[in-house]
Structure 1
């Protein structure tokens, strides 16, 4: 008999995977690579594999980002699947079983009620037996259910049918929520099992193992129950019969006389008639002051009620089948917390019998993708997030355009929602070209800069005339996309400090004049004049006391005195 994987909790809850044909089944998100395709963004393209062998059915994990777990343990090597194993694949918990028709049995174990409550009393399973203590559900989806607690027994409360003794069909109840036990002294204790919503007793959060008294109100999520001591004495108030010392005499009633025999004064009739006429006249004048309109009483339809609940989630679309009571959801939602909040609101509507949830949780999508990106050290600064539902943004910095091309190809292959992704990755080589062009246009050739992860460092010398140009250039650099911060270390120089003195490095050994105007100097055995080069520096001026040179916007001077 072929085994099954039955989805019990998560976005693929209710899905059944049968291992009938073949000997190997690859599980993943990519239909080209996987034989069993799971529509879950937390599932890798090739996530896991189930193989049929002589030893039984073996499970192998292929995902390094979100590995498969078996009964809460990460699968690191081939493991044998056993009856009742709980497997987490992506965001969904599956149960492995070889029992044919188990899905129908589970459906029969939790029949839907046609009343306002979401589930029948049979959603709470516990054998009826005589005992002192009674657990009675008074609020929540299982309202009205009862269970007897036996002396010396311990019970697991939750919604996992493979582990729990008392089952609650409630989304706010964890798979293993709490443990309730009755000791030999007939005392009842409850203990929280690291549940999501905790255990609340009489309005206070319980810590550790705590005793429950009779009539204590205990809340697990939205399910509320009482612990009742059936052997306790309760006062019964019985009203006493009314006793009178003597029988009451019946009041004698005179017979009613015919109206014709009554004598009514004509004066009284006249006054009554005048009063009636005045009253009618007053009422008529009062109604003439107002324009009457029909009052239309509108009743909200089922679709309008759903729209009110979904107003906080505009990126989620829905379709409701009135005849079956089934609600279909699709679209995007930002976080898992908001997703649970949305489902909680919808479950408060009594006419919704079931929900087919295909909503994408963006938090899971970007977490999975960021895990893949972090595996490549070249993309260490690249990340994806969503500021709004369904609006993904990829940010970060890369050195060259070739790196951006590689990143784009990788994202196109592995990111499932490309039409919802905005690429804001900055190539620092292109950013440096833009900054260099701005400085050149501002005639700031003596200014150097460097760019690292969006931080621009400016250094160099700027003369007094270039101070305003530098400030204007910095404002333009701030406006460039990808610039996060600017550190300005440029030095403003005056006329006396704008030249770098090279007198100690170079010595003028002689001078000469041409046409008694142009002066030439001899430096390191070379005759230099205006326009000549000295070690890459351009001679811009020669006067009787100094030689002025310039290179890359920086000015130099060599003093001499040969008199």
Structure 2
């Protein structure tokens, strides 16, 4: 028989992982990379690897954020497994059995247990929405009864000649299991017209097990056979099938015992009656009416009987008051649970009053918050068990930050959780291409995409937006640069454009991602509105010749190029050629080059 890992405690309690079909198995949350999938938010994408060798089964830890424990000890190198070893993977404690687990999960109950009519998960004192229309009346002969898992105690009526899809998808499935280890379309159950049940695996991740054996084809179910889907277990019950009924024997009490139990008048009451008779006789004998008086013994007896009556009355009042308190306590169960979860708005619950089990789902910020949550709930004595599916956001974003830091392009990006159940990406990237690559990576590898806010700032997009605002206001002489949230402006503007420039600065500060703005723009006065390029860029513009027609220069040679009026050089347009000065213009600013002086 193949070796098995059996989930004893934790999120995947009751899950059986069979080591078959190969000699090496990867365990983790990623179904594309792992052969044994763990639907546990605490498990890493590839958490561990198990290999079968001649010496036995060897396990290797692959998780940096949540390493595995063997018998409560961390391992730092591949370790051989022994029978009965306790392996902690994610939020589940597994037991290793090299020849297969000897027993089914201890939580699977016998069919004969009376679990009450309310087996499904519901919220107490709330109207249950008719998500699944199933008739549970006594006229249905065949019933699917869940005996283990989150839906423990639930019953679903089955009709002859019908087939049912079992899974977690409320749209496709006929019978829905609220179990994270069950696939969306896990199995198909068929009940023939003769009442013979058949079950078939629909290529689920964890498979379908009948009596601890995984099925590979359509299989008939015999009476009393237990079917396991992930951590849930059920069986098909024929209500009309013959069953053994145990009748408790009756016992008759002897006549003497019955007579002993018949209440008789107390001696005190008989004595009181005799005293009253004697007093009445004495009154009749006297000629004149005399007020009767009780003897001392009768008076004492009367006082004793009165005290007994008072004590009985006090006991009855206390009994009725105790009953009222018990009723109020039952009615206040949802209120007590809500008070315990008041500090954790990201956590939702469902309480099964028939079994006393509490189902939790949602998010908390840190591990300390989760410990406080469980501490509050364990103080409620009416809760018999807790199915914990609460995600700790701190462990999620810490693991994601480790993955992001391994890519050099994304080292300026980090993830955090502003509120329970909410995640945000912040930081800076150089180009739009890097931002698109990051978005694709998060869509493939982050499991809470619908709760993620992308607040990453792309420097290329910020610069393009800043340049556009400057061009719209006619400030082409100003250039911008952006790095790590700081926008820097350089260049020249005319003095009459100062007000316009201040308005643009206000708009630039409102761009998303701009934390600070530094301006090195020079305001030119009217008399200094012409920039002398000879002084600003010495030896950059060399005039080596010119052509004259009469007293007017019509051509000049700048840096070896023959230019005339209207031509451009370095983006500047030549507007005039004078005997000793060349005038140029660009974006409203004027420039000059002096020559032949």
- State the Cα distance separating 1:345 from its structure 2 match: 0.9
Match of 1:348 in 2: 379
CA-to-partner distance for each residue in 1:424-482, whole Å, 9 max, x for gaps? 33333333222111110011111111122333221122222222222222221222223
The TM-score normalised by the length of structure 2 is 0.54
Match of 1:374 in 2: 405
Match of 1:89 in 2: 89
Match of 1:548 in 2: 583
Matches within 5 A, 1:334-413: 334-413=365-444
Alpha-carbon distance in 2 for matches of 1:542, 1:75 = 80
Matches within 5 A, 1:240-255: none
Alpha-carbon distance in 2 for matches of 1:50, 1:560 = 82
Match of 1:38 in 2: 38
Is the counterpart of residue 72 in structure 1 residue 103 in structure 2? no
Matches within 5 A, 1:467-482: 467-482=498-513
Kindly tell me: are residues 322 and 466 of structure 1, through their superposed partners in 2, closer, same or farther at Cα, counting changes over 3 Å? same
- State the Cα distance separating 1:104 from its structure 2 match: 5.0
Matches within 5 A, 1:101-500: 300-500=331-531
- State the Cα distance separating 1:80 from its structure 2 match: 0.6
CA-to-partner distance for each residue in 1:172-211, whole Å, 9 max, x for gaps? xxxxxxxxxxxxxxxxxxxxxxxxxxxxxxxxxxxxxxxx
Q: Secondary structure at the match of 1:388?
A: coil
Greater helix percent: which structure? 2
Q: Secondary structure at the match of 1:434?
A: helix
* CA contact 1:4–1:16 (8 Å) conserved in 2: no
Alpha-carbon distance in 2 for matches of 1:19, 1:513 = 99
The TM-score normalised by the length of structure 1 is 0.57
CA-to-partner distance for each residue in 1:93-138, whole Å, 9 max, x for gaps? 5454668459759x9xxxxxxxxxxxxxxxxxxxxxxxxxxxxxxx
Kindly tell me: are residues 309 and 67 of structure 1, through their superposed partners in 2, closer, same or farther at Cα, counting changes over 3 Å? closer
* CA contact 1:328–1:356 (8 Å) conserved in 2: yes
- State the Cα distance separating 1:57 from its structure 2 match: 1.5
Alpha-carbon distance in 1 for matches of 2:93, 2:499 = 65
Q: Secondary structure at the match of 1:489?
A: strand
Alpha-carbon distance in 2 for matches of 1:91, 1:364 = 12
Match of 1:239 in 2: none
* CA contact 2:9–2:92 (8 Å) conserved in 1: yes
1:539 to 568, 574, 583: 574
* CA contact 1:460–1:491 (8 Å) conserved in 2: yes
Moved more, 454-463 or 19-28: 19-28
CA-to-partner distance for each residue in 1:10-47, whole Å, 9 max, x for gaps? 645x4454546555443111345434322223323333
- State the Cα distance separating 1:496 from its structure 2 match: 4.1
Kindly tell me: are residues 548 and 30 of structure 1, through their superposed partners in 2, closer, same or farther at Cα, counting changes over 3 Å? same
Alpha-carbon distance in 2 for matches of 1:463, 1:360 = 60
Alpha-carbon distance in 2 for matches of 1:550, 1:60 = 71
- Structure number with greater CO (CA < 8 Å, separation at least 6) is 2
Match of 1:50 in 2: 50
Kindly tell me: are residues 547 and 371 of structure 1, through their superposed partners in 2, closer, same or farther at Cα, counting changes over 3 Å? same
- State the Cα distance separating 1:358 from its structure 2 match: 0.8
* CA contact 2:424–2:455 (8 Å) conserved in 1: yes
Kindly tell me: are residues 527 and 301 of structure 1, through their superposed partners in 2, closer, same or farther at Cα, counting changes over 3 Å? closer
* CA contact 1:499–1:555 (8 Å) conserved in 2: yes
- State the Cα distance separating 1:330 from its structure 2 match: 0.8
Match of 2:187 in 1: none
Q: Secondary structure at the match of 2:426?
A: strand
What is the aligned length?
374
CA-to-partner distance for each residue in 1:332-382, whole Å, 9 max, x for gaps? 222211111111111111111110011122112212222222222122122
Q: What RMSD over aligned residues (CA atoms) do the two structures have, in Å?
A: 4.0
* CA contact 2:423–2:452 (8 Å) conserved in 1: yes
Kindly tell me: are residues 411 and 510 of structure 1, through their superposed partners in 2, closer, same or farther at Cα, counting changes over 3 Å? closer
Alpha-carbon distance in 1 for matches of 2:396, 2:340 = 25
Q: Secondary structure at the match of 1:437?
A: helix
Alpha-carbon distance in 2 for matches of 1:67, 1:498 = 69
* CA contact 1:65–1:372 (8 Å) conserved in 2: no
Alpha-carbon distance in 1 for matches of 2:355, 2:10 = 22
Match of 1:136 in 2: none
Moved more, 336-345 or 385-394: 385-394
- State the Cα distance separating 1:384 from its structure 2 match: 2.2
Alpha-carbon distance in 1 for matches of 2:477, 2:432 = 28
Alpha-carbon distance in 2 for matches of 1:386, 1:447 = 39
- State the Cα distance separating 1:532 from its structure 2 match: 4.5
* CA contact 1:520–1:527 (8 Å) conserved in 2: no
Q: Secondary structure at the match of 1:351?
A: coil
* CA contact 2:14–2:105 (8 Å) conserved in 1: no
Match of 2:592 in 1: 557
Alpha-carbon distance in 2 for matches of 1:104, 1:457 = 68
Moved more, 536-545 or 477-486: 536-545
Kindly tell me: are residues 544 and 392 of structure 1, through their superposed partners in 2, closer, same or farther at Cα, counting changes over 3 Å? same
Kindly tell me: are residues 542 and 328 of structure 1, through their superposed partners in 2, closer, same or farther at Cα, counting changes over 3 Å? same
Match of 1:280 in 2: none
Alpha-carbon distance in 1 for matches of 2:502, 2:387 = 59
- State the Cα distance separating 1:412 from its structure 2 match: 1.8
Gaps of at least 5 residues in structure 2 are: 110-278, 284-288, 292-326
